[in-house]
Chain A
């Protein structure tokens, strides 16, 4: 059970935070189809940051002396860096969509193509192969939270809570959840959040009340870029052992689907992300999944092909969208470039 929850969280949290990235862009009125591209870019820059800092040796003493608090700081620093790079990358979309009033779907597609191309081009030249990894050690030895850090011995049991939510987890997961909660509250209870949302519903009315629609949309896309870039790195760190190869397995698109399924509302999105995280987790580790701890792997025993499990998240997304389409309510002005002249 512990593994199931841990693995589900591993997939759920990046999905959730990137879906929230989509919410911020779309609620401000810009379709951010580029989530996948920004994730790829964020994953790459984050891993590159870790790699370069390791080579510079800033955190080597901390690693050698077992100062795990400093290493957690390193991890958060890398997340921050990936987020900022994602934000810069998303400016390309913001510029095309807001200033030049370009087709947002095409602009997003362009970024989705640009990110892996640039990443692979640079990775190939820097690392002479198609994947960039940490300069030294792996994600588990540097960043993973372990029993020993909380004063437990190798064979001691931390209890259900500890074994599930502390042992063998990453602090990145909890930072993401915290950011998710804070940003959701900001979106719904602050002046800024209200203004941002109004720009996605009726920008003309918002403008007439003195809100700068362009500025709001820029902030929406930039927050979106930050979250997606950070989410990309978190995905690379927790699910890909801190490596980047110009690919995040379609998570950006899946996040987009989660966002639509969650009806552009944070609470529903968290629920949606949980469902897809669960199915992704089943697909990834169904053969070693022992749900009630009786030593039987019944997901293998029922003899369904692994390919079916791999397909399930996508099929279920499609089905859920079909069944929830009636209640679906997208921000009214999303995808429409704001033109002052049309007021």
Chain B
């Protein structure tokens, strides 16, 4: 048994997963610590409140609110779980966007901009093609494809300036993010897409159900009663699997990775480096764009169109999703769901305690910080197993000598 365990432990992938789990654990502990410290310094928060806060940080997804006595109650909460999956959908997509780019040696911090362009295109298409003429499912498909195209184009810009002018893609992505934020506001400002039918909602775009366009539910809404979940999550998981195959099993994926690990060597081997850099960014952008479409086409989500002062957090949160999954597309599915869970936890914290949802952002940031030296953690894990092996070897040697 022990042997099996140690052999399993020596596997590289196991160590990678372990290092991610350690990052998560440290992140959660720092979150709990912050809850504790602020609780001590803030006189209005009692010891009981602190303890409740800490429990929600770790187990918030299982919280079902408060019972009749005012104590926290726990259990499987179908609507929370469903909402978690719903919010995980765009996170998985932006996570894939960042992860695929990272596999090819590019740091795609432009996911928020690509996400916004996807939002703009998908909403505009879904609301402007009349569903009386064209069947709703066809509009949905066109909208998703349009979002993919818009995201791809927006992602290609940093790719092009990187490939031809050797400009750091991080800077180019940041600039395109802010340009996108302004373009979206410009596009919707004064357009017919703003919600003027419902009172006080002119800052929002019509939800797509106004045009009868909505993502198919696939029965998930019955499974998770009272939540917003829909077939988008299945679609996102399928895309993740597709990306895994593309990156790991195809020639194109190999070329992209080769360009990422050593551009000059790839060029020497006859791979078109410029084309691959642009392509990689375009694929990343398309993924983020589709993520936006899957979120906003759900039928009842309302988009605040005045975005020029702020970028969508979903785009930036793709970075921790990808990092935590070590850029593995399959891993992104799980880390995306985990990040969405943190999101729900933050909401529970706001609803049930004196704390607020920003704690989940703190936890995410700590996890990213830990991911920055996940290598150190892995080396540490390796060192531990090596030491064990050495100790065991020496034991055996001494045994033999005794014999």
Q: How far is the CB of A244 from chain B (nearest CB, A)?
A: 14
Q: Is A33 in contact with B170, judged by CB distance below 8 angstroms?
A: yes
Q: Is B174 in contact with A111, judged by CB distance below 8 angstroms?
A: no
State A288–B130 Cα separation when bound (angstroms).
42
Q: Is B171 in contact with A260, judged by CB distance below 8 angstroms?
A: yes
- With an 8 A cutoff between CB atoms, is A307 at the interface? yes
Q: How far is the CB of A85 from chain B (nearest CB, A)?
A: 17
Collect the chain A residues with CB atoms within 8 Å of residue B308's CB: 307, 310
Interface size in chain A (residues, C-beta < 8 A): 43
Q: Is B174 in contact with A253, judged by CB distance below 8 angstroms?
A: yes
- Partner-B contacts on A (CB < 8 A): 33, 92, 96, 100-103, 105-107, 109-111, 113-114, 116-118, 120-122, 124-125, 247, 249-250, 253, 256-257, 260, 305, 307-308, 310-311, 314-315, 317-318, 321-322, 325, 328
Collect the chain B residues with CB atoms within 8 Å of residue A117's CB: 358-359, 361-362, 364-365
- With an 8 A cutoff between CB atoms, is B288 at the interface? no
The chain B residue sitting closest to A323, CB to CB, is B165
- With an 8 A cutoff between CB atoms, is B131 at the interface? no
Q: Is A310 in contact with B182, judged by CB distance below 8 angstroms?
A: yes
Collect the chain A residues with CB atoms within 8 Å of residue B172's CB: 318, 321
- Give me 7 other A-B pairs in contact (C-beta within 8 A), A257-B171, A318-B175 excluded: A107-B373, A109-B368, A110-B365, A260-B168, A314-B176, A314-B178, A314-B179
- With an 8 A cutoff between CB atoms, is B183 at the interface? yes
Collect the chain B residues with CB atoms within 8 Å of residue A33's CB: 170
Report B169-204 CB contacts with A as 1/0, cut-off 8 Å.
Answer: 011101110110011011001000000000000000
The 4 tightest CB contacts between A and B, nearest first, are A117-B361, A307-B186, A114-B365, A110-B369
Q: How far is the CB of A209 from chain B (nearest CB, A)?
A: 29
Given contacts A109-B368, A124-B358, A325-B166, contact A317 B375 (CB under 8 A): no
Q: Which of B175, B185, B186, B323 has the most CB of A within 10 A?
A: B175
Q: Is A305 in contact with B161, judged by CB distance below 8 angstroms?
A: no
**Category for how many chain B residues contact A:** 35 or more
Q: How far is the CB of B112 from chain A (nearest CB, A)?
A: 11
* Residue among B167, B182, B356, B372 making CB contact with A96, cutoff 8 Å: B372
The chain B residue sitting closest to A305, CB to CB, is B186
Collect the chain B residues with CB atoms within 8 Å of residue A305's CB: 186
- With an 8 A cutoff between CB atoms, is B206 at the interface? no
Q: Is B372 in contact with A103, judged by CB distance below 8 angstroms?
A: yes
Collect the chain A residues with CB atoms within 8 Å of residue B165's CB: 321-322, 325
Q: Is B170 in contact with A105, judged by CB distance below 8 angstroms?
A: yes
Q: Is A125 in contact with B354, judged by CB distance below 8 angstroms?
A: yes
Q: Is B319 in contact with A307, judged by CB distance below 8 angstroms?
A: no
Collect the chain B residues with CB atoms within 8 Å of residue A124's CB: 356, 358
- With an 8 A cutoff between CB atoms, is B107 at the interface? yes
The chain B residue sitting closest to A246, CB to CB, is B358
State A103–B320 Cα separation when bound (angstroms).
14
Q: Is B107 in contact with A257, judged by CB distance below 8 angstroms?
A: no
Q: Is A121 in contact with B362, judged by CB distance below 8 angstroms?
A: yes
Q: Which of B183, B365, B366, B375 has the most CB of A within 10 A?
A: B365
The chain A residue sitting closest to B319, CB to CB, is A109
Collect the chain A residues with CB atoms within 8 Å of residue B189's CB: 307
Q: How far is the CB of A84 from chain B (nearest CB, A)?
A: 20
Q: Is A125 in contact with B355, judged by CB distance below 8 angstroms?
A: yes
Q: Which of B178, B179, B183 has the most CB of A within 10 A?
A: B178
Q: Is A113 in contact with B364, judged by CB distance below 8 angstroms?
A: yes
Report B295-321 CB contacts with A as 1/0, cut-off 8 Å.
Answer: 000000000000011100000100110
Q: Is A321 in contact with B171, judged by CB distance below 8 angstroms?
A: yes
State A111–B362 Cα separation when bound (angstroms).
10
Collect the chain B residues with CB atoms within 8 Å of residue A92's CB: 369
State A100–B172 Cα separation when bound (angstroms).
28
Q: Is A107 in contact with B372, judged by CB distance below 8 angstroms?
A: yes
State A114–B161 Cα separation when bound (angstroms).
29
Collect the chain A residues with CB atoms within 8 Å of residue B399's CB: none
A-B contact pairs, 16 of them (CB 8 A): A33-B170, A96-B373, A105-B170, A107-B369, A109-B368, A113-B316, A113-B319, A113-B368, A117-B361, A121-B38, A122-B38, A124-B358, A247-B310, A253-B171, A256-B174, A257-B174
The chain A residue sitting closest to B309, CB to CB, is A249
Collect the chain B residues with CB atoms within 8 Å of residue A102's CB: 372-373, 375-376
Collect the chain B residues with CB atoms within 8 Å of residue A310's CB: 182, 308
Given contacts A106-B323, A113-B365, contact A321 B356 (CB under 8 A): no
- With an 8 A cutoff between CB atoms, is B109 at the interface? yes
State A181–B18 Cα separation when bound (angstroms).
49
Collect the chain A residues with CB atoms within 8 Å of residue B354's CB: 125
